[in-house]
Amino acid sequence: MRGKSIKGSEGWIVKLLYGSHNLELENTLVGYLYVGRLIANEKCMLVDMTKSLVKPINILLTMKEHNERNVTTIKLVYNVMIVY
């Protein structure tokens, strides 16, 4: 697929170059940035636990206990901890 913006407009032209896909679909989305992002209450929890000197692995486990669908990785926890 190839996309190109239209000059003088807010639209796009998208062309399908070849109609097949050569990659297998993933069974899980763990590690993908979009699905691994933290929602507002998870960010607050992470900041509070970081200030209380809780270990990153325990922060991650607590977040996963509160939300079964959470696919955040330890790497994201470390990255957010660096910011705060």
In angstroms and rounded to an integer, the radius of gyration of the C-alpha atoms of the chain is 19
Question: What integer pLDDT is reported at residue 62 of this predicted model?
Answer: 93
The pTM (predicted TM-score) of the whole model is 0.58
Helix (H, G, I), strand (E, B) or coil at 2: strand
State the Cα–Cα distance between residues 61 and 45, nearest whole angstrom.
12
Per residue in 19-61, pLDDT (tens digit) is 666 666 666 655 565 566 788 888 888 889 999 999 999 999 9
Q: What are the sequence ranges of the domains in the chain?
A: 2-83
